[in-house]
Each structure stands twice: as C-alpha cells, then as structure tokens.
Structure 1
Amino acid sequence: MTSLRTDLSRPADLGGTAVRPISEDELGEWLRAVRTGFLQSPVVPVEELAAYGEQFEPGRFLGAFDGGRCVATFRSFGQQVTAVGGRPVAADAVTGVTVSATHRRRGLLTRMMNGDLAAAKERGDTVATLIAAEYPIYGRFGFGPATGAARWNVDVRRAGLDPRAPVPSAGGRIDLVEPEGVLAVGPGLHERVRAAVPGVVSRDAWWWRTRTGVLRLDTQWTEPFHAVYRAADGTVDGLVTYDVDDTWGDAKQPHHTATVRGLLAATPDAERALWHYLCSIDWVTHVKSDLRAPDDLLPLLLPDPRAALATTLTDWLWVRILDVRAALEARTYEGEGSLVIEVADPAGLTGGRWLLDASTAGASCVPTTRSPELTLGVTELAMLWLGDESALRLAALGRVREERGGAARADALFRTSRRPWCPDQF
C-alpha cells in the first residue's frame, strides 16, 4: 500500500514550487493566496490579518511557494465532532484549501493533504473533517459526505401562523440581547446541543468572537439581531442571530426578509418559539433559515408546511476515518448485533477486517479473520459513520459488497432515527 507519510518540515521542489509550513510573518501572503483561490479580492483587510494572527499555529498552515509568491494553501486545526450517542471525537479539521489557477495539476494539494493526514494520524485523531467547496475533489483522499444540509425560505403570509398569538406560548419568554449577552450564554447552549446531535462540531472562543463582531474579519461587518429563548425556570434553551433587510413594495407595503445567521435550540419548545417569533416580526414577510438538517422540524412547525420552500439541499460535513476501531467504538447503535466488515484504505492510514459487536450502549470492534459480510472503502465507511447514508443504497450503486444480508444489518445498526447535522462552516 502507498503511505501518506510525508515530511513537510523539509521543503520539496515540485517543478520549482516548494511546499512547506509557513511562518507567522508569511500569514499575509498566505491569506492573499486564500482570497485569490476563492475568487475574492486579493487585498487582505487589516482586521482579517489580525484575527487570523490569533489563530496561527506553527506547522498547521501550509503553503506552496513559487519564488516568493504563495500559490496554494492548506490549513488544519484541532476540532471535536459529536458521534452518534453524544461522545466527542478528536478530529483534524481541514480548511483554507486553495490552488491558484496558474498552478493546478501539479500535485500541490495531494502533497499538502497527504502530509496533514499523516500528522493527524500520528497525533491520534480519530477522523478528519472538512466542508467541501467542490464535490469531486476529496473522495480520492478518503473523505465522504457524512451529513446533509437544507435551507428554507418561509412565506410568512402563507404559513398560517396567528400573528395575534403570544410568542412564545405561556411559560417561556424571548429577549433581545447584545453581543456580550450572546458570549455569556451561547457557548453553554451550544455544548448542550452538541452533546445531543451527531455531526455538530466544537466552537472555540475565537468562533464566538468573530460571529458576534467582537473580533471582526473585515470592514463589511453589519450588526445583526440576537434573541434568546428562556424557559419558565429562566434557563436559556434557544438562541437565534438574524438580519432584516429593508424592502418595500410599490404601494408602500413592507416586504422585509429576516435572514437567520444561526439558530440553536436545546428543546422543541425553544425551537418552535424562535421560529414563531421570527415569523411574527412586524414588516417581515419572508424568513430565510440558516443551514438546517434535511429533516429539520421547521416546515412541520407551520400550519401550512408548503409555505417553507427548500432553497438548498446539499451535502455538508465530510469525514475521513483515520482509525476504524476508534471511530466505530466511539458511537452507539440503533440496535444490537454483530457485523464483520472489511475496510479498504489505499492510503494505508487505517483499514483491515473487523468484528463489530454493537448495541445501544456502545460497541467493541476487534480484528478478525472471519469472512466479511460487508466490504467497503474508507470513503463509504465515512458516509455510514454518522448514520446518514444507507448501506443498501451504496450496495445498489456498487460501492459496497455484501454477503449474507450484510447491508441490511448494517443499516439496522448504523442508521439513526434523526439525521445528523453540522450547523457550522469552517
């Protein structure tokens, strides 16, 4: 097997292009290359440079340099992703991946990715994660889409909600808060949600500071509204951040749209109350959601679910399994049973033949010589890991091979009653 092990401490010349970790002094040039790769203005705002300076971690910001110019970028950072059952799993989060149009097809991404995944394996990370800007790129590195995402546009006038009804219902209350209030209650609420929903990833203090404008990435920041839902006992069970535009019809009728930047709810009551609140704001005729799980409650919370139009339905969080045993033992399962799986990993980071003994309380996963009941690649295992994909579907596509009903039994164990969800982009 081909190993991904690569020593990035030594610059490697690939047709005159050196691939190496950057120094902190090179962060501005690196950010210029990131912005160029994502077709943004190459001018790096002072605010963005300062903000990323706080995040700089030697060895985890990689660049490819042609002369003094950075032409490809790659970054990773430590993260936790919630497995089915609520256990946090150590992840290598990949972001800032670009290759300039002038230097494509030279193996620059492959070298950076290979080195980073090898380092993550050595650190003991169980998985790697990323949000894929383009679908075809990351499968060849063993990543697979593990969660989906949906956006909704609610026509408030058709939703059927009573604008005269109290919001929220008796027992709770909604209050507008300032960014400081969000910083006080948001992290704790997020941890409650993260412990309950597979696919949710960790947020550090930097995340909260940039999302509230306390630390600004550029000069284009506009201050949003923040509202919290408090249960009858005063516990903060929900938080929503949103913008409202200023749109009027020809007859001076308001046609404002409230666009949700993020909505977290630890209870169904909080979720219902926050959506009802957004749909009851005077002048607001449409509400656009943030990225929700594809089976989100939002449409069914409305008397007329057809008032919620799905405007986005896509893959979202991608996962790369780095340790089969650790990943499968980290989660719980929907039922009880055993399954022999054989996992192929051409990169040689993980794989092998395993006996999975699974239950609602957890699992053991040990090497075995028994004949496999399900044979699949590490990409396909990543698609199954959080419970969103079906082994039977993958078998029908020829992407897994089953013996003795292995795909159906895998679905009975792996799939979850609610779909996993990752609300964040990174």
Structure 2
Amino acid sequence: MSSGDRDHVVVRTLVEGDFPDWLRALNTGFLRAPTPSDEDVAARLPYQDFTRMRGAFDAGRCVATYRSFAQEVTAVGGAPVPACAVSSVTVSPTHRRRGLLGRMMGADLAEARERGDVLATLIAAEYPIYGRFGFGPASRLTRWSVDVRRTGLDPRWSGPADGGRIDLVDGGTVRKLGPEPYDRARAVRHGMVSRTPRDWDRRTGRNVPPSEPWTEPFHAMYRSASGELEGYVTYACDDKWEDSKQPLNTATVRDLIAVTPAAELALWRYVCAIDWVTFVDSGDRAPDDLLPMLLPDPRAARVLTYADMLWVRILDVVRALETRTYGTSGSLVLDVRDAAGMAGGRYRLDASPEGAACAPTTASADLTLDVGELGALYLGDESVARLVALGRVEESTEGAAARADVLFRASRRAWCPDIF
C-alpha cells in the first residue's frame, strides 16, 4: 500500500454519531453479527467515553476500533497502580497490516503517559500482536474441570463447620454487597483489577445489551461466624442426564471471590456438593488456586486451560518499580529498551522489604531487557533466569538474573479474574 493510500485512512477519536458504525466494525472484527440493532446501540451508548475511543475511517467507513478506560491494577504488596486498560481492538480484514493499530495505540499510550498512568493493560485475544507495542504477559490462568464423584468429598456436606454460613442471594444483592469483599480481595492479591459499577451491572444482568444473551445464574454468599461477608460465588448449571436417568450436570463458576481461606474453602465445598452436579468447571483461576489441593483426591481436577491472561505495558519505570514490594533487599541496574521511546533508559533499583527507590543512572547495566519483558516480570510471575535462557534478557553481571528473581518473585501467583 502506498503512503498516499494510507493517508486516505483517518485515525481519530469518536463523536457520538460514529458509534453505530464503530460498533459494526467492532462486531466484524470479533466475528459477531455485524449490523447492530437500534436497541443494542441505544443500550450501549450511555456507557461510552468517546474521548477514549478511536477508530480508523476509510472514505467515512470505520475499519478499525480501539478504546481504553481508567483502571487500577494491584501490584505485588497490595498497592493500587493507575493503569490505562486497552480493549475493543479490531482491524477489519480488508485493512490489515497498514499500521492502523499502531497509530491508534501509539496515540492512546502517549496520552496515558501524559495523564500519569503507570501501566497499560490488556487481555490478548492473539498472542503475537502486542509484544511489539511493549506489552508482556504478566499473569496466567488455569481452568479446571472437577469430577465431583472422584474428589473424595462427603456428598452429604450441608454447610461450613467453622460456624460460618452460605446463603443463596439474588443478583441485586451481589450488585449491592459484592464490591466490598471484591475490593478487600484485590487489595491483597496482585494482578487483580478494579471493577466499575457498569461491570457489576453486567455481571448481575442489569442493562445487558440485547445482543448479549443473558441467563440468570445462581449466587451464594459466605459469611463468617461473626456475620462478616467474606466471599461469594456466581455459577450457572446446565441440564444433562444419562439415559439411565443419572445426572451429568456441570456447574460453571463465573465468579468466585474470597477474602479469607475459610471463605474460599467453603465456597468450593459448596459448589462441589450441589445436588445433581457431577462436574464443576472452575472458570478462570490463578494457577496456584486452592481448588485442586483442597480435594482429598486432587486428581479429580483436570486442567482444561493454562494460558496467559493479563498483559502489562510499563509506561513509567520509576513509579512502577517503586510502587510494588520486594521480599528481600538488593540492588539492580536495569537497561530498559523501549522502541516507542516512552519508558526506555537505564535505572537503578534499590529494594528492600521496607520499600524501594528507583532512579535513572549512568552506571553499568546488570540486566538489559525490552520494556515488554519488564512488564512480564512486573507481577512476579515470570523467571528472569528463564528469560535469559531464552535470549530475551541479557545478563551483563554474573548472578544478576538470580538476584533479580529473588527480588521480583512473589509468594503467590498473580491473578486477574476479569476479561475486559
């Protein structure tokens, strides 16, 4: 494609009148029925922030889509980090490989950096795309299928033995009470992200667009012996039976959030004891979730999926590294390469369990790495030594990779339960 042809494609932020055509392009990219109904447009319109939505337009027709929104990501140690969450990224098949995503993302990330966001985040539908924009896979998910018949759990279980209780509730109750335990959980689990009121609406069936079929799930909440709400689970069940009239139903967990181990154990125990439920689909969990090991026979939990989840793009190295905590004391000089020119430079990190200081330096580098590799390391879920072995990190000082692993790794795996 010639530069003259490229100039005919205009990339810009949206105005309200662009939204139906932008939504058509979004649906096209995600292989959904392309033409949105008037009802669907009307249902979505009130929730759009057009100042953070972009489109590429060829002769007035939208051929690529992009949006971002404000988010907080929990860093290792529990501090909330301001982030630019990227979503709704598509390029129509007629306009691929013309640099449209780069133009949209470059402008948006520059604005995010100017705004003071420390990170950018996304969930990658396709793995190879986002590394070239400085993103790295910073958390992973595991999804299990549990054969309840093989767990060794008592099928007659009727409630927690710790004095707590589990109650079935409706979506309105989750919408009202759920944010408090969720925010308590994300304050201590790195990788979790903030949820907006709109997120809670959609999770509980309020104002769901007509193009998104909604089946009401079940909701159950756990309260401790003192009456404190410490967790909840949302799940849906299918209706499958053998010819011999034996149940083969699956309960699929859509959301399970627990503030305490007692709540997590009780909620999994509850789901595995529902009458007629033969299999439990865990939904997207942290790789070190308690689920398999809480079962008398952990082999009853079969891995369905193990994959990358939250991708992180560092926009401000100093603030990012000073915000998270470290399990030991140590110093490193990192030479960070960033082709986009946003976060590159050489930085000295002095870290301890009491805090960290990071500043530009001219000292010789211990490690040289791309900003995407730093993003992959940020939540403590990747090994520096492994990246050195892969040739993605250069170790200039002997032993620096081992020291970095001790500094960066966390005692639990990062977990992001939300697709956005």
TM-score band, normalised by shorter chain: over 0.9
Confirm or deny: 8 A CA contact 1:248 1:254 kept in the other structure: yes
Match in the other structure for 1:392: 385
Aligned residue number for residue 352 of structure 1: 345
2:144–2:302 Cα contact (<8 Å) kept: yes
**Residues 245-265 of structure 1: per-residue CA shift (max 9 Å, x gap):** 111100111111000111000
Is it true that 1:370 corresponds to 2:363 in the alignment?
A: yes
2:265 is aligned with 1:272: yes
Match of 2:203 in 1: 211
Q: Please identify, of 117-126 and 167-176, the stretch whose mean Cα deviation from structure 2 is larger.
A: 167-176
Candidates 317, 325, 329, aligned match of 1:324:
317
Deviations 1:131-163 (A, max 9, x none): 000000000000000000011100000011001
Gaps of 5+ in 1: 1-11
* Percentage of identical aligned residues: 61
CA distance in structure 1 between the partners assigned to 2:14 and 2:149 by the alignment: 53
SS of structure 1 residue aligned to 2:391 = coil
Match of 2:307 in 1: 314
Q: Name the counterpart of 1:5.
A: none
Q: How many residues align?
A: 415
Shift of residue 25, structure 1, vs aligned partner: 1.8
CA distance in 2, matches of 1:340, 1:92: 27
Letter in 1 for 2:380: G
1:3-402 to 2 correspondence within 5 Å?
A: 14-46=6-38, 48-218=40-210, 220-402=213-395
The SS at the match of 2:178 is helix
Compute the displacement of 1:50 (Å). Answer: 3.4
Other structure's SS at 2:84 match: strand
Q: 1:199 to 1:171 in 2, by over 3 A?
A: same
Query: Separation in 1 of the partners of 2:353 and 2:31?
Result: 46
- Mapped to 2, the partners of 1:208 and 1:260 lie a distance apart of 16
Contact in 1 for aligned 2:122/2:310 (Cα 8 Å): yes
2:408 matches 1:414? yes
Provide the secondary structure at the position in 1 that maps to 2:312.
strand
Aligned partners of 2:157 and 2:273 also within 8 Å: no
**Which letter maps to 1:373?**
D
Matching residue of 1:6: none
* TM norm structure 1: 0.95
What displacement does 1:55 show? 2.3
Q: Secondary structure at the match of 1:340?
A: strand
Any conservation in 1 of the 2:117–2:315 contact (CA below 8 Å)? yes
Q: State the shift of 1:46 in Å.
A: 4.8
**Deviation, structure 1 residue 21:** 0.9
One-letter amino acid matched to 2:304: T
The question of whether the paired residues in 2 share the 8 Å contact of 1:258 and 1:287 is answered with: yes
Deviations 1:272-331 (A, max 9, x none): 111110110100000001110111111001000000001000000000000000100010
- For 1:173 and 1:362, the matched residues in 2 are separated by 39
Corresponding letter in the other structure for 2:401: A
The residue identity in structure 1 corresponding to 2:278 is T
- Matched to 2:72, the amino acid is Q
Structure 2 CA distance for aligned equivalents of residues 30 and 168 of structure 1: 50
Q: CA deviation at 1:167?
A: 2.0
8 Å CA contact 2:25, 2:65 repeated in 1: yes
Residues 45 and 216 of structure 1: CA distance in aligned 2, closer, same or farther (over 3 Å): farther
- Contact kept? 1:356, 1:363, Cα under 8 Å: yes
Say if 1:46 and 1:218, in contact at 8 Å, map to a contact too.
no
Residue 424 (structure 1) aligns with: 418
Structure 1 residue 45: Cα displacement:
4.4
Contact 1:48–1:216 under 8 Å retained in 2: no
What is the rounded CA distance, in whole Å, between the counterparts of 2:302 and 2:23 in structure 1?
A: 37
Cα distance change of structure 1 residues 171 and 45 upon mapping to structure 2, 3 Å threshold: farther
Measure how far apart 1:16 and its partner are: 2.2
In structure 1, C-alpha distance between the alignment counterparts of 2:119 and 2:242, rounded to whole Å: 50
Q: Secondary structure at the match of 2:22?
A: helix
Between 35-44 and 126-135, report the one with greater CA deviation: 35-44
* Structure 2 portions without partners, runs of 5+: none
Please give the alpha-carbon distance, in whole angstroms, between the structure 2 residues aligned to 1:49 and 1:378.
Answer: 38
Name the Cα RMSD after superposition: 1.3
CA distance in 2, matches of 1:135, 1:72: 19
Please give the TM-score of this superposition, normalised by the length of structure 2. Answer: 0.97
Residues 227, 240 of structure 1: 8 Å contact kept: yes
AA aligned to 2:139 is T
For the Cα contact (< 8 Å) 1:186–1:239, is it kept in 2? yes
